[in-house]
Amino acid sequence: MKIAIAGAGAMGSRIGLMLHAAGNQVILIDTWPAHIAAIREKGLLANLNGQEAVAHLPIYSPTELPADLQVDLIVALTKSMQLDQMFQMIQSLIHPTTYVLSLLNGLGHEDTLEKYVPKENIIFGTTTWTAGLKGPGYAELTGTGAIEMENIEPSGKEFTLKVVDVFKKAKLNPVYSDNVRYSIWKKACINGTLNGLCTILDCNVGELGNLTVTKDLITAIVSEFATVSQQEGIHLDQASVIAAIEATYDPETQGRHYPSMYQDLIKSQRKTEIDYINGAVWRKGQRLEIPTPYCAFLTELIHGKEQLLNAK
Ligand code: NAD
């Protein structure tokens, strides 16, 4: 399959590298000049579970895409706040037969993608794979994961099943889901507790789990996600979401982990995806006249922290 990765950062590098290794024609699209230059010079380098790997993939900035370039699938893997601008810039790549698979974390991306892509060509997904960038052109890819995906319109099912097959051959452990929106909301809810709280409290997940205030905070945030998602027809099982959050506290498993928002903001002074996690619930709640004070407060605190740290 001919596949473009729109947003070839940590996760885009992982998915691109694994799809390329399985024999697909992969091109990368990115906006970070140093990353583009490094990949052009040395290829995309990665530490893949302890093995050094390199993939010589074409990489373009959105402004230099060849006019006649066509792909079967675009995998969207920008950060949430970069998605709109990316799709605005790559419109020449979107033809009536081009499908788009979003694997971003967060909520509300359908509103952005539907501005540029026919609804029947949109596939939504969520993933438990992880990835990091050690620097421009060099990805750190450890562990394993899986992907769930589902077309948003019934007519997209046939192509989505083909994508599942292609991803299976690339050992990305995909499954076709018949309720991907539930999984997306559940992941957003888990991120909506651990990410913002660890970032503001300056702690890892295990330390958060040890605080006497955490149970109340988590319960209140999960309840806001559940009340708002209910209005979109997603019935989040609050007890199972809380259990999934609490399972991350164990220092022997994920407890020593600092969530991605912490790493982006505190370690790298990069802006966060908060507006697409707690911020999205706050905005949806305002439209529905559902109060979401914890999500609103956490969103504003994170924005305050971004300003204090001069995050870019
Ligand atoms: P990323 O920050 O690595 O990459 C996103 C974009 O930012 C890319 O265009 C990249 O080139 C650019 N970028 C990265 N570092 C930069 C720097 N220092 N300076 C300038 N530009 C830089 O993002 P990601 O982790 O790949 O996440 C993409 C999406 O996937 C997000 O929605 C994220 O929440 C989701 N996701 C990430 C992981 C993970 O483990 N990284 C796991 C699951 C889902």
Transcribe the chain into DSSP letters: -EEEEES-SHHHHHHHHHHHHTT-EEEEE---HHHHHHHHHH-EEEEETTEEEEE---EE-GGG--TT---SEEEE-S-GGGHHHHHHHTGGG--TT-EEEE--SSS-HHHHHTTTS-GGGEEEEEE----EEEETTEEEE-S---EEEEESSGGGHHHHHHHHHHHHHTT--EEE-S-HHHHHHHHHHHHHHHHHHHHHHT--HHHHHHSTTHHHHHHHHHHHHHHHHHTTT----HHHHHHHHHGGG-TTTTTTPPPHHHIIIIIT----SGGGTHHHHHHHHHHHT---HHHHHHHHHHHHHHHHTT--
Grade residue 232 by pLDDT with cuts at 50, 70 and 90: very high
Report the domain count for the chain: 2
Record the pTM: 0.97
Q: Supply the pLDDT for residue 200.
A: 98
Asked which of 178, 204, 228 is the last residue of a domain, the reply is 178
Question: Is the C-beta atom of 12 inside 6 A of ligand 1?
Answer: yes
- Residue 155 sits in the same domain as residue 240: no
- Residue 66 sits in the same domain as residue 145: yes
Q: Supply the pLDDT for residue 119.
A: 97
Report the relative pairing of strands 44-48 and 51-55 from DSSP bridges: antiparallel
- Residue 150 sits in the same domain as residue 202: no
Which ligand 1 atom is the nearest neighbour of the CA of 132?
A: 41
Q: Supply the pLDDT for residue 238.
A: 98
Q: Which of 28, 84, 133, 273 to mutate to test the pocket of ligand 1 (most atoms within 8 A of CB)?
A: 133
Query: What is the C-alpha to C-alpha distance for residues 264 and 261, in angstroms, rounded to an integer?
Result: 5
- Residue 83 sits in the same domain as residue 156: yes
- Residue 39 sits in the same domain as residue 149: yes
Q: Which of 78, 147, 265 to mutate to test the pocket of ligand 1 (most atoms within 8 A of CB)?
A: 78
Asked which of 159, 178, 197 is the last residue of a domain, the reply is 178
Grade residue 299 by pLDDT with cuts at 50, 70 and 90: very high
Grade residue 231 by pLDDT with cuts at 50, 70 and 90: very high
- Residue 205 sits in the same domain as residue 121: no
- Residue 32 sits in the same domain as residue 116: yes
Asked which of 162, 178, 194 is the last residue of a domain, the reply is 178
- Residue 41 sits in the same domain as residue 15: yes
Nearest CA to ligand 1 atom 11: 9
Q: What percent of the chain has a predicted confidence (pLDDT) above 90? A: 100
Nearest CA to ligand 1 atom 19: 32
Q: Supply the pLDDT for residue 187.
A: 98
Grade residue 212 by pLDDT with cuts at 50, 70 and 90: very high
Which ligand 1 atom is the nearest neighbour of the CA of 191?
A: 34
Q: Which of 36, 79, 275 to mutate to test the pocket of ligand 1 (most atoms within 8 A of CB)?
A: 79
Catalytic residue of the set 162, 168, 169, 187:
187
Q: Supply the pLDDT for residue 37.
A: 98
Q: How far is the CA of 104 from the centre of ligand 1 (A)?
A: 9
The mean pLDDT of 108-130, rounded to a whole number, is 97
Q: Any catalytic annotation for residue 267?
A: no
Q: Supply the pLDDT for residue 18.
A: 98
Question: Is the C-beta atom of 7 inside 6 A of ligand 1?
Answer: yes
Nearest CA to ligand 1 atom 12: 9
Nearest CA to ligand 1 atom 17: 32
Which ligand 1 atom is the nearest neighbour of the CA of 264?
A: 2
Which ligand 1 atom is the nearest neighbour of the CA of 133?
A: 3
- Residue 24 sits in the same domain as residue 173: yes
- Residue 228 sits in the same domain as residue 152: no
Grade residue 90 by pLDDT with cuts at 50, 70 and 90: very high
- Residue 142 sits in the same domain as residue 201: no
- Residue 56 sits in the same domain as residue 201: no
* 48-87 pLDDT, tens digit each: 999 999 999 999 999 999 999 999 999 999 999 999 999 9
Average pLDDT, the chain: 97
282: CATH: 1.10.1040.10
Which domain range does residue 111 map to? 2-178
Q: Supply the pLDDT for residue 67.
A: 92
87: CATH: 3.40.50.720
* 141-193 pLDDT, tens digit each: 999 999 999 999 999 999 999 999 999 999 999 999 999 999 999 999 999 99
The mean pLDDT of 124-152, rounded to a whole number, is 97
Q: How far is the CA of 78 from the centre of ligand 1 (A)?
A: 6
Question: Is the C-beta atom of 32 inside 6 A of ligand 1?
Answer: yes
* 246-261 pLDDT, tens digit each: 999 999 989 999 999 9
Q: Supply the pLDDT for residue 222.
A: 98
The mean pLDDT of 23-39, rounded to a whole number, is 98
